Amino acid sequence: MAWLDKRGQTFRVVFQIGEQTFKRSLKTSDRREAAGRVALVERRIKMVQLGELIVPDDIDLPTFLVTDGQPKTSSPSVVKPAMTLAVAIEKYKASIPAGSLEENTLYTLGIHLRHIDRLLGSHFQLGKLQFTDLQRYVEVRAQEAGVRGQTVNPVTIRKELTSFSSLWSWMLRSKHATGAFPNKGLHFPKTKEKPKFQTWIEIERQIAKYKLSEFEQAELWDALYLTTAEMEDVLDYVKQNASRPFLFPMLLMAAHTGARRSEILRSQASDFDFAANTVVVHEKKRAKGKCTTRAIPLSPRLRSIMEAWVEDSSCRHTFHLSGTPFTVDEASYAFNATFAGTKWEKLRGWHVFRHSFISNCASRGIDQRMIDSWSGHQTEEMRKRYTHLLPNAQQSALQLVFGS
C-alpha cells in the first residue's frame, strides 16, 4: 500500500512493507506527476511480492521502489519469472549442507515436500503463495487417509507446513520470495493428546476390559514402556537370537542410555571413557545449526559389554561393517527380523527403548533435570507423557494437602 503526502511545497510517497512504514521525497510539486509516481511505487511493491521483480544487492528496497525500480548506477532491474514449487524444492534440497541434518530428518523432509508438491502442483508459482492456499492444503490433507484407517493427523500436517516454512526461508535468503510465510491464523482440526506411557500389563488389561478398535490398540502399544525387568528379558532374548551380532550391543546402549538410533549409529569407540565410566553421545537436534554432546553414565552391564566390543574392533566407528557404519535401514531390518513372530513383535521400533529408559528413570524418582541431561532434547509434550511416573514426588505433594 502506498499513498501521497505533501510536505512543504513538494510531495512525498508513504508506503508500508510488512509492519514497516517508509517515507521518500518525490522531489516534485506537481500533484498529477506525484500521483502517477505513487501508483508506480504501489505496482512495484506488488511485483516484488509476487517475485516478478528482484531487488539488486546494491540498493535498499525503499529506494529501489521509488527510483523507477532501478539502482542509481542505472543498471537494469532483474526481472525473473516466479519460481515454481518443483524447481524450488529441488534447489532447496540441493542447498542443504551434507551432514547438517539427521538422515531421518532429510528423509521426512522429502516426504513432507512431496505432499506439498502433490497438492499445490509442481507448476505452482511460489511468489503467489497466499494464506488461502495454505488453508486449503490443511483442509484437503486433513481428509486424506493416514495410518491404521484414520485420516491424517493434524500434528503431521503442522510438521509438513514447518518443512514448507523452511523452504520459504531459503527462498527469502536467496531473494526468490518476499514477505513472511503466510501461515499465521491457519485453522487445524483438533488433535487428541497421546496416551501416557504405560507398562505391558496395563495395556493388556485395557485391551481385555474394553472393546478397543485396532487403531486404539495400536495407539496403546505406541505408548508402551518396558519395565527394567522386561528390558533385561528382551536384551537376553536378543543376545541369544539376534539376526545380526551388532544388534545386541546397540539395543543395550539404547536401553541403558536412552540414546536415539541415529545417535548410536554415529557413535565412535573414543566416545566411551571407561576411566570416567561415561559415554559421550553426539546430538544434532538439541541446538539448531550446531552439533552438541551429552555425557551419560555407563551401567555395569553396558560397560562390561562395550569394553569387550570396542576392544575387539580396530575401527573408530563403534558399530560398523568393514569400517563403514551401519545404516538406518540395516538397523531397522535387524530389529524387525529378530522380533518377528515373537511376543516382542509388539515393540514399535527403536524408540521404545528410549521411552523405557526415560520412564524407568522417572518411576524411580530421578530428578527431572538429570533425566533431561541424560536424554537430551525433551519437549513439554513428551514430559507430560511420563510425569505420572514420578510417584514419590506426587504422593508427598498430596500428603501435604490430605495427610491428616
- Average pLDDT along the chain, 404 residues, taken 10 residues at a time: 78 77 82 81 77 68 70 44 85 87 87 95 90 94 86 93 94 86 92 85 92 88 92 96 93 96 93 95 76 92 94 84 87 94 92 92 86 83 76 65 68
CATH number (domain holding residue 281): 1.10.443.10
- Residues 150, 8 share a domain: no
Tell me what pLDDT residue 346 has.
Answer: 92
Question: 256 burial class (0-12, 13-18, 19+ CB within 10 angstroms)?
Answer: buried
Tell me what pLDDT residue 79 has.
Answer: 39
Structural domain range at position 8? 2-66
Q: How would you label 126-135 residue by residue, b for 16+ Cβ within 10 Å and e otherwise?
A: bbebeeeebb
Tell me what pLDDT residue 381 has.
Answer: 77
- Chain centroid to CA 30: 56
- Residues 121, 260 share a domain: no
CB 26 within 8 A of CB 50: no
- Residues 92, 60 share a domain: no
d(CA 383, CA 196): 10
How many domains are there within the chain? 3
State the amino acid at position 44 in one-letter form.
R
Tell me what pLDDT residue 82 has.
Answer: 64
d(CA 313, CA 324): 12
β-strands 272-273, 20-25 pairing: unpaired
Tell me what pLDDT residue 52 has.
Answer: 66
- In degrees and rounded to multiples of 5, residue 135 shows phi and psi of -65, -40
Residue 151 belongs to a domain: yes
- Residues 378, 252 share a domain: yes
- Residues 205, 169 share a domain: no
Residue 189 belongs to a domain: no
- In degrees and rounded to multiples of 5, residue 56 shows phi and psi of -60, 155
3-state secondary structure of 286: strand
- In degrees and rounded to multiples of 5, residue 187 shows phi and psi of -105, 130
- Residues 373, 268 share a domain: yes
CB 52 within 8 A of CB 127: yes
Picking from 168, 171, 170, 172, the residue whose alpha carbon sits closest to that of residue 183 is 168
Tell me what pLDDT residue 357 has.
Answer: 93
- Residues 95, 56 share a domain: no
Alpha-carbon torsion (183, 184, 187, 193), positive or negative: positive
Tell me what pLDDT residue 323 has.
Answer: 84
d(CA 245, CA 243): 7
Residue 10 belongs to a domain: yes
- Residues 242, 119 share a domain: no
